[in-house]
Chain A
């Protein structure tokens, strides 16, 4: 479970006072949840996912993680652009106390990057980057995966592979995905919430959430 207890987050913006990302929000993310969070550009989706991942701290309130949570998977984040895909995998393996070569193999198998595994990440296309990031995290065992929209870029074949993994091996794992695109959310999520003006509104029904979001 991830518990958000009266969480507020704002940034001080010069001349504009406070820009609110979250206002006094209380919520629960349970094991096995497939939650999509919709929000327009600049609504604070990425900040929200960083808060969930413990990268950024709330301005007030508390976030408690009672399950293991992946790092926020977003384009170019958590990997080093000058290092190769393999070296990045080895680094992540060492950090999380896994066998480096086993992880390299697992990522290679899932992401199908071929010879690009030995090329610097800076040379990767957006799709390859998302394959590396998802490959890395899905080869590891987290109770909850945090996915930022950029990562959902991938070709049809890769999206199917990811869906298959989420429906089989990772069936009881939670996924929280933020996106501005209803299509992404529909592909991976079962419930949805909308982040707008610092308010996080939850919907049980995906279609209702998407309709509300599109009417904003």
Chain B
């Protein structure tokens, strides 16, 4: 390429590195800005990021407990079980269904050539991820103190959450691109995300299902992820079914698709 041979343009690896540094700087600046605009400059608002999903998960756990007070999973407090199932789902939903809005709300940022479409989405998602990791740590700590139950395997729990984040991020990219390209797609995203709840395995451990239904749910990588998170938390208190390779495969697919879709939709954006 003639561009790479121009003076002052080293090309190759150093060019990629320079690009990576620039992108990192941009994402850092976006993160700071996102926190300032979302929570104002007072630090109390920052707390809300963590309290919001915690309260929601707590409320749902309470309702569940009220309707079915008998514990189907011996040794596992139902409140903790609900929390561990719902929290990842909330994060997933927050990322995927908010991604189109994130894009639209931040279009004016694209006036700065340094800021790419991906950076805007990535910064927002990183914040959601930081929130879920923090809440999970709080839950682990709380459960250890009050229920005397330590997580079975923190590495599995962490890998599960990271995969959840990457999967949601990839799907979020697809959702954002689809919404930007078509109004119908934009309207479909919310119902689809809600409909995915029963198929996600967030509510029910796969072990308690009929093997034939279990096999169907295991087509959904999300079900594997929820099983992983439960395995990391409860271990052999609850048998789990997951295949990391299968999840990684789908994470790769949705991320590549999302990046390609975002790239394809960028020239068509109207300001």
Chain A interface (Cβ within 8 Å of chain B)? Answer: 11, 47, 50, 53-57, 69, 71-72, 76-78, 80, 82-83, 87, 91-92, 94-97
B111 near A95: Cβ-Cβ < 8 Å: no
Residues 19 to 66 of chain B near chain A (Cβ within 8 Å): 22, 25-26, 28-29, 32-33, 36-37
* A69 vs B114: C-alpha distance when bound (angstroms): 11
Q: Which residue of A lies closest to B26 (CB)?
A: A95
Q: Which residues of A contact B266 (CB under 8 A)?
A: 57
Query: Is B267 in the interface zone, CB < 8 Å from A?
Result: yes
For A91, give its contact among B29, B108, B113 (CB under 8 Å): B29
Q: Give Cα distance in the complex from A97 to B25, angstroms.
A: 8
A78 pairs with B270, CB closer than 8 A? no
Sample (25) of A-B pairs whose CB atoms are under 8 Å apart: A53-B113, A54-B113, A55-B111, A55-B113, A56-B269, A56-B271, A57-B268, A71-B113, A77-B111, A78-B108, A78-B109, A78-B112, A80-B33, A83-B37, A91-B29, A94-B25, A94-B28, A94-B32, A95-B26, A95-B29, A95-B112, A95-B114, A96-B114, A97-B22, A97-B25
Any A CB within 8 A of the CB of B115: yes
A187 to chain B, nearest CB (A): 24
Q: Categorize the interface residue count of chain B.
A: 20 to 34
Residues of B within 8 A of A77 (CB): 108, 111
Q: Are A83 and B36 in contact (CB under 8 A)?
A: yes
Complex Cα spacing A96 to B33, Å: 15
Decide yes or no: A71 and B270 within 8 Å by CB, A80-B33, A97-B25 being known contacts. Answer: no
Contact of A55 with B29 in the complex, beta carbons under 8 Å: no
Q: Interface 1/0s, chain B 106-140, versus A by CB < 8 A?
A: 00111111110000000000000000000000000
**What's the least CB distance linking B269 to chain A, in Å?**
7
| Across-interface contacts of B22 in A (CB, < 8 A) | 97
List B residues at the A interface (Cβ < 8 Å).
22, 25-26, 28-29, 32-33, 36-37, 108-115, 266-271
Complex Cα gap A82–B270 (Å):
23
Q: A77-B108, A95-B25, A95-B112 are in contact. List 10 more A-B contacts (CB 8 A).
A: A53-B113, A54-B113, A57-B266, A57-B268, A77-B111, A78-B109, A91-B29, A94-B29, A94-B32, A95-B29
Which residue of chain B lies nearest to A65 when distances are taken between CB atoms in the complex?
B113
Give B21's nearest chain A residue, CB to CB.
A97
B25, B111, B268, B269: the one within 8 Å of A78 (CB): B111
A80–B112 CA distance with the chains assembled, in angstroms: 13
In the complex, the chain A residue whose C-beta lies closest to that of B33 is A91
Please list the 9 inter-chain residue pairs (A to B) with the smallest Cβ-Cβ separation, ordered nearest first: A94-B29, A57-B267, A71-B111, A78-B111, A71-B112, A91-B33, A95-B114, A82-B37, A54-B113
A54 contacts which chain B residues (CB < 8 A)?
Answer: 113
Closest B residue, CB atoms, query A69: B113
Query: What is the CA–CA distance of A11 and B269 in the complex, to the nearest angstrom?
Result: 11
Q: Assess the A50–B112 pair: CB atoms within 8 A.
A: no
In Å, the complex CA distance between A95 and B31 comes to 12
Question: How many angstroms from the CA of A94 to the CA of B34 in the assembled complex?
Answer: 14
Enumerate chain A residues within 8 angstroms of B108, measured Cβ to Cβ: 76-78
Distance between Cα atoms of A55 and B108 in the complex (Å): 9
* Complex interface: chain A residues within 8 A of B269 (CB): 56
CB <8 Å contact, B110 and A55: yes
A11, A56, A72, A95: residue with the most chain B Cβ atoms closer than 10 Å = A95
Residue on B with the closest CB to A50? B271
Which residues of chain B are within 8 angstroms of A91 by Cβ–Cβ distance?
Answer: 29, 32-33
Q: Which residues of chain A are within 8 angstroms of B112 by Cβ–Cβ distance?
A: 71, 78, 92, 95-96
